[in-house]
Structure formats: structure tokens, C-alpha cells
Amino acid sequence: MSDLFKAPKGTYDVVPPFSQLWLAVKDALSTPPRLAGYGYIETPLFEDTALFVRGVGESTDVVSKEMYTFNDRGDRSLTLRPEGTAGVLRAILENRLDRAGLPVKVWYTGANFRYEQPQSGRYRQHTQVGVEAIGSSDPALDAEIIWMAIHSQRTILGLKNIRLLVNSLGCHQCRPAYRELLTAFLGTLELDEATQERILLNPLRVLDDKREHVRALLEDAPLMPDHLCAECCEHHNLVLHFLDLLGVEYELAPRLVRGLDYYVRTTFELIHTGLGAQSAIGGGGRYDGLVETLGGPALAGVGFGLGVDRTCLAIQAEGITLPASNPLLAFLIPIGEGALEICLPLIGALRINGACVDMAFDSRSLKASMKSADRSGAKFAVIVGEDEIKNHTAVIKNLLSGEQTSVPLDLVEEMLTK
Ligand code: HAM
């Protein structure tokens, strides 16, 4: 036999039983937007490369180092989406959703691709549940978005060790002056060459440096929240006030700068304290101006992306067990000739009525089939053998207690669902 193929580096398969957790997490993360009137949107996995270059920003690591870009057979430059926002905005504009009333509120889920150095929690294909709300500058919308992100993680999934960091990055009016101030400050420090280059690209990103000695140097750096214009200051204060009204616990994080260039004003990140280096399980913020950058009208926007992979890791790190979404009610065991004729219609009827039912295949022995029933996690085994066929009955065995009873065939469904 030749060597088996392996999933590409930095990717993994979502297989049972882990896939149950995966689906439960996706379901939990998308519950708040579904309840808050966000419509579902799905966009292609690949887009014109230029969309991401313009939408995510050329100076970001995502665009400059991490994109999966290729030319198709028609010589178009295409890129596997590294994140969801740019494609969703393109789709909103292309489908003119913004003309049918504002704000346009949508949610999405799907894979994203970034050529990163793989490690625990950092993959080359990762999945997000995200939302975007376009066409409103209302700080109540920022608060709604932040509340949805934290509500799914803290309340629906029950994660305890999450910190919510909130900051304001100012706007296109007040940030340039702050940027100059920060650049001047950074110019007085002795920093390595790579950091000097980052200053040229985006000095704010230096504030996010994780190295202890750099952090010490940055102790007295000017911070954006102290240099907001009056409008940004009012917006920020209102967002925080609304979060208080919603009972959301947060921390002010004046050094929080996210890795994508489009953010203005509100930015936030959810950090799980049990995940080591890849601790961000979600993040988002406002991106007023981005729709215009993509060729659309001057519409404000705000959204988030929550990492499904890292949220699963966080659940495992906290030892949380989520209830199975579809627990198996019964496992049917047909034994001998004529048993399938009885079992198949019974399974059909049970499934039509919404019960979760599996059965033994391949005419295996009772012993082997009972093993499969135990492994399946079903509550009951239903055995139909020679005697049962003769008597028009079935044996229902409670797989937890071991108790078993013989039941007339026409009462099996009622007994199981009772
Ligand atoms: P992001 O912070 O780049 O934001 O990604 C959102 C989340 O996706 C991260 O917090 C993390 O949990 C997860 N994630 C990102 N990269 C990886 C990776 N390589 N491996 C595993 N998980 C990863 C965005 O993508 C923005 N589009 C979010 C947004 C929407 N902002 C406004 N609207």
C-alpha cells in the first residue's frame, strides 16, 4: 500500500466526535445575530485579489505575507479569502442591499485562509462566525455587536476565562495627528530594525508588541484615547455607557490595535486566558470609510469575527461539556429473515416524527449488534428477531439500566417517545 495522504500543513479535519462540539459552537456563536435580525449571507471562498489588497490594507501582515493568491486559467489574480469583511461588503454593494434600507445587518460563517506559521490555535485554514452592520454610526450598534460577541461566549457557551478588551482608535480626522505624535515618540527610542520598519508602515501596531523590553520602552507612549476628537470621544463614551446598560463586563485597553487596517473608533477583542499565545478568540470593530474605499457610498460599518477553532479549544481548556444536539434515542437491531421488513418502516416512522434513530447493518450477530448499540450512545436498543416476528412484538432494552421488555409492534413508537 502506498503512503496515505495527509491534510495539508496547518489544516485539520473536523471529525466525530469532535465535530459535535464544532457544530454546537457554530450554533452558539450565530444564535445572537439570528435573534437580533441579522440576515444570513454567504459569499465565494475566493475573490479578486485587489478586493483584499484594498479592503484589508497593503501594510497588514495578512495581505503582505499571508494570502493564498493564484492566477486562474483565464489569468485573473484570485485570492482565497483571508477574512470575511471585504467579501461581505463587496456582496452587499453588488447586490444593492444598501438600497433597501439601512442599516444592512448580516451574519456569516465559513473558512478563511492565511499562510501563517502553524501552531496550536493558529492554522492555515480557520473558521469564523462573523457579523457586519452597514450604514449606521449609532454607538448603540457598536454595543449591540460587542454584546452579541460576548453573550454567545460567556452565557450560551458558559466560558468563564474571557477578557473583553475595548478601545477607540479615533477617526480619519483625529488619528493622523496622533499618529505623528506617536511616530515622534517612537523616534526617541532605540528599537530594532524590524520594529523601525513597522513604524513606517503603521506606528500604532508597535503598541501591540508583546516583548517585555519593548513594552517597558513604550510605558510613556502617547495613547489614542487621550487624543480623540470631540466626536470620537463622545462616541466612545456612549459605547461604554451602553455596554454598562447591557451589563457587559469589559476592560479599557488603550494599546489595543488590531491587525487589520480598516478599523476606526471602536475596536475590541475577546481574549481567553487559557490558550497561551493564540489567545484571541474573536475581535472586531468599526470601519467607517471602508465601504467607500471599496468603491461604494460613504456608509459606516461595524462588525466582528469570532474564531470557531479557538472557541472549541477554549471550551476544551475549561473542560466544558455541551449537551449533544441530537442524542440518539434508539438503535434498531434486525435479526434474521423478515426482520428488516419490520425495522425499516419503523425507523422511517420514528425519523419522520423527529426521533434520532440508527440501526445495525450487514446482518451481524445479536452480540455484535448489541456492541454497536452500546457504542452508539443510544438510550434504547430495539431488537426484532425470529420470536418477535412471530408474535408481532419487539424487545426494547434500556441501555443504561439494562432493563428490557417485550412490546407489541404497534406500541414501540409510543413507548420510545413517551
Ligand atoms: P481577525 O481578528 O483577523 O478579524 O480574526 C477574527 C478571529 O478569527 C480571531 O480572533 C481568531 O479567533 C480567528 N483567527 C484568525 N486567524 C486565525 C488563524 N490563523 N487560526 C485560527 N484562528 C484564527 C477578522 O478577520 C475581521 N474580519 C473581523 C471583523 C469583522 N471585523 C469587523 N468585522
Confidence of residue 1 (pLDDT cuts 50, 70, 90): low
CA atoms of 201 and 63, how far apart (whole Å) = 13
Note the pLDDT of residue 418.
80
Q: What angle do CA 17, 22, 28 make, to 5 degrees?
A: 135
pLDDT tens digits, residue range 287-312?
A: 999 999 999 999 999 999 999 999 99
- Decide: 126 in ligand 1 pocket, CB within 6 A: yes
User: What is the whole-number distance in angstroms between the Cα of residue 6 and the centre of ligand 1?
Assistant: 25
Q: Are 179 and 203 in contact, with CB atoms under 8 Å apart?
A: yes
CA atoms of 290 and 84, how far apart (whole Å) = 13
User: What is the whole-number distance in angstroms between the Cα of residue 11 and the centre of ligand 1?
Assistant: 16
- Decide: 85 in ligand 1 pocket, CB within 6 A: yes
Which residue out of 157, 260, 302 has the highest number of ligand 1 atoms within 8 Å of its CB and is therefore the one to mutate? 260
Share of the chain above pLDDT 90, in %: 93
- Decide: 283 in ligand 1 pocket, CB within 6 A: yes
User: What is the whole-number distance in angstroms between the Cα of residue 128 and the centre of ligand 1?
Assistant: 7
Mean pLDDT of the 1-21 span: 94
- Decide: 359 in ligand 1 pocket, CB within 6 A: no
Note the pLDDT of residue 210.
85
Confidence of residue 259 (pLDDT cuts 50, 70, 90): confident
Which residue out of 83, 262, 311 has the highest number of ligand 1 atoms within 8 Å of its CB and is therefore the one to mutate? 83
Confidence of residue 346 (pLDDT cuts 50, 70, 90): very high
Question: Could you tell me the sign of the dihedral formed by the alpha carbons of 23, 28, 30, 31, in that order?
Answer: positive
Task: Please name the residues in contact with 384: beta carbons below 8 A apart, sequence gap of 6 or more.
Answer: 332, 333, 334, 335, 339, 342, 343, 394, 395
Residue nearest to atom 26 of ligand 1 (CA): 305
User: What is the whole-number distance in angstroms between the Cα of residue 277 and the centre of ligand 1?
Assistant: 14
Confidence of residue 391 (pLDDT cuts 50, 70, 90): very high
- Decide: 267 in ligand 1 pocket, CB within 6 A: no
Residue nearest to atom 31 of ligand 1 (CA): 284
- Decide: 128 in ligand 1 pocket, CB within 6 A: yes
Note the pLDDT of residue 261.
83
Instruction: Return the CATH number of 330-417, one of 3.40.50.800, 3.40.190.10, 1.10.10.10, 3.30.460.20.
Output: 3.40.50.800
Q: What is the mean pLDDT of the chain?
A: 96
Note the pLDDT of residue 36.
98
Please state, in angstroms and as integers, the Cα–Cα distance from residue 389 to each residue in 259, 273, 382, following that order.
Answer: 67, 59, 13
Q: Is the pLDDT of residue 342 over 80?
A: yes
Q: Is the pLDDT of residue 272 over 90?
A: yes
Which residue out of 128, 205, 315 has the highest number of ligand 1 atoms within 8 Å of its CB and is therefore the one to mutate? 128
Note the pLDDT of residue 24.
96
User: What is the whole-number distance in angstroms between the Cα of residue 306 and the centre of ligand 1?
Assistant: 6
Confidence of residue 187 (pLDDT cuts 50, 70, 90): very high
Strand partners, 125: 113
Q: Which amino acid is at 284?
A: G
Q: Is the pLDDT of residue 324 over 90?
A: no
Note the pLDDT of residue 368.
97
Confidence of residue 208 (pLDDT cuts 50, 70, 90): confident
Confidence of residue 94 (pLDDT cuts 50, 70, 90): very high
Domain with CATH 3.40.50.800 in the chain: 330-417
Share of the chain above pLDDT 70, in %: 100
Note the pLDDT of residue 325.
77
Q: What are phi and psi of 121, to 5 degrees?
A: 85, -5
CA atoms of 278 and 281, how far apart (whole Å) = 8
- Topology (CATH level 3) of domain 18-174+228-318: BirA Bifunctional Protein; domain 2 (3.30.930)
Domain with CATH 3.30.930.10 in the chain: 18-174+228-318
- Decide: 280 in ligand 1 pocket, CB within 6 A: yes
- Decide: 272 in ligand 1 pocket, CB within 6 A: no
User: What is the whole-number distance in angstroms between the Cα of residue 417 and the centre of ligand 1?
Assistant: 43
Note the pLDDT of residue 390.
96
User: What is the whole-number distance in angstroms between the Cα of residue 263 and the centre of ligand 1?
Assistant: 13
